[in-house]
Amino acid sequence: MDLGAQVKNNFFIKLMTKNLKIICCFIALFFTQKVSSQKDDVLDDRAFVKCLIDATGAKVSGDFYSADSLYKKCLEINPKSGVVNFELSGIYLSLNQPHKAMEYASAAVIIDPRNEWYLANLALVYKENSNHLESAEIFSKLSEIKPDKISYLFSLTEELLNANKYKKALKVLNKIEEKIGISEDLSIQKHQIYVFLRDKKKAINELSKLVAFSPENIRGLGLLAEYYQNINKANESKNLLDKMMLIDSSNGLVRLSLFQFYHKNGEFIKAYSELLYVMRSTEVENNLKKQMLLQISYDEKSPYNINQICELAESYLKSDFKSSEVLLLLGNLKMHQRKEDTACFYIRESLKINPLPFEAWTQLISSTLSRNKLEATIKDSKNALESHPNQPFLYLALGIALNQKNKFENAIENLKKGKNLVFNNSFLESDFNQQIGDSYYGIKKSKIAFDYYEMSLALNPENINLLNNYSYYLALEKVNLERAKELILKVIDKFPENSTYMDTYGWVMFQIGEYEKAEQILFNAVIKDGERSGEILEHYGDVLFKLKNKKKAITFWEKAKATGEHSNELIQKINENKFIE
């Protein structure tokens, strides 16, 4: 059927695009002869020819409206002009008005029933109207008028198949075979029809005939082996596959057939080995290889594990590294293997080819940001914004990375752009407010920062990270300490054993001046932390100093110094044996 369609299409392309000068000469000649035979109507015939040439010129230039009007004027002069009806049918077919096209195409054939062009045009119009039997009838007539044009037989076959007249189509295909001999495409098409008709014997015979005609035809052998497999004749199938391996064991199509055999029979180790060979082969089309790979990868019941699928994808990419789908697939697989650097490489390469999948950008940027790969986050976010300029997440990720790089002014600019894109998402808007607050705090505009923190908490009052940080910043600034206490108590209520939150709580109480309470809290923080955090150790030393226990305070300051994590004032505290604000 594919070959018939190809030949039929080639015929009609040639038919409808013939040199228009030749058409015009034909028309002029036809009507000049008519003029000489009807001398009483010389003026009308001259007017007809002029009108016909003008109409054809308008049609060639694409002015179908003028052409339609002029052709109809031609019909007023000569209602029995086959050429004009033919041309009008072509115009209406181009304008996607198949019913009107049929009206004029039929009129042309009535005027000249054996005109090859008129008949072929009517057959095409019938096809466009899905009148496949009528179209087949015309092609049958054309094959009788022009028996040497085998293209009409192919077109007849296609229309019979479109009309579900499979047995009649087989008869036509047999007639073609009588004319041109056994051919691969014909045999395969006949085989497919027999398969559809569930005639196993004839389906086998058709391919067997092809194999007998061409014993080393890999495609014919492969199709016959596949059909034997489909009808549960595994031995016959394997015999043919072995024969194919003897003919050409390096052929990817042969190995593809072996993969299908082993996979269907549950021999997955052998199947995998063959599929790996197929992925590296050049004989199998990349689209088919890619389709198989993606199907295996996303099949929940796939017998192949993630390491095997990774190896298959890597093999495929050796011959086609420009496949964004396979690159993205491999990136996702590497993410599942927790090989995030490699995963990000493949996802990034995929997005260079096709930057549209926003989920892939999200996955890539989330990975780099979570692993503190800040330069990569900044670069990837900017690249993503070129294709997704209205996605607030990209501005948020970019702002977070810029904040962590202390590029606060740049962060504010991008975060405010992103915030303006947020719609009906209070949590996302809250995150933007928090990050903008962090930016302003970074440039020592604490009042503005605290305003943004309050806006953030108004939208998401359970943001533990912000509750802790905001409380701590208030304590550092020694402002609104009761608000700081209120904030950190909400955190402690949920996480009473967390040493970081206990440290914040203790420091708030220290700034309020409740040193004994602060000492109890910070002592528990030191115990919970296991004396690992220099900041907690320093804070505990500070409160001990306020409680007049200078010797013990210095001991904990020294411990803080040993961690390397401490304030700029710690060395001065130790050297001068006193607390420094």
d(CA 189, CA 272): 31
Residue owning tokens 């302003």: 440
Question: What DSSP element (H or E) covers 2?
Answer: helix 2-16
d(CA 369, CA 173): 64
What's the CATH number of domain 487-581, 3.40.50.1110, 2.40.50.140, 1.25.40.10, 1.10.260.40? Answer: 1.25.40.10
Distance of alpha carbon 64 from the chain centroid:
39
Token pair for residue 474? 């208030």
1-164 and 487-581 share one fold: yes
Q: Which fold has domain 1-164?
A: 1.25.40
Q: Any alpha helices (H) in 265-305, and if so which ranges?
A: 268-280, 286-298
- Output the tens digit of pLDDT for each of the chain's 581 residues: 443 343 333 333 333 333 333 344 444 434 433 433 344 445 568 889 999 999 999 899 889 999 999 999 999 999 999 999 999 999 999 899 989 999 999 999 999 999 999 999 999 999 999 999 999 999 999 999 999 999 999 999 999 999 999 999 999 999 999 999 999 999 999 999 999 999 999 999 999 999 999 999 899 999 999 999 999 999 999 999 999 999 999 999 999 999 999 999 999 999 999 999 999 999 999 999 999 999 999 898 999 999 999 999 999 999 899 999 999 999 999 999 999 999 999 999 999 999 999 999 999 999 999 999 999 999 999 999 999 999 999 999 999 999 999 999 999 999 999 999 999 999 999 999 999 999 999 999 999 999 999 999 999 999 999 999 999 999 999 999 999 999 999 999 999 999 999 999 999 999 999 999 999 999 999 999 999 999 999 999 999 999 999 999 999 999 999 999 888 899 999 999 888 88
3 state DSSP class of 329: helix
Q: What single DSSP character describes residue 480? A: S
| pLDDT of res. 19 | 35
Instruction: Give CA separation, 217 vs 22, 132, 210, 285, 531, in Å.
Output: 44, 34, 8, 18, 78
| pLDDT of res. 20 | 37
Q: Is 544 within 8 Å of 552 (Cβ atoms)?
A: yes
| pLDDT of res. 45 | 80
Token pair for residue 79? 């209602």
Helix-strand-coil percent breakdown of the chain, rounded to 5?
A: 80, 0, 20
User: Taking the domains of the chain in order of start, what are their residue ranges?
Assistant: 1-164, 487-581
| pLDDT of res. 254 | 94
| pLDDT of res. 212 | 94
Q: Is 384 within 8 Å of 365 (Cβ atoms)?
A: yes
CA angle 397, 400, 402 (to 5 degrees): 105
| pLDDT of res. 46 | 87
Q: Is 434 within 8 Å of 462 (Cβ atoms)?
A: no
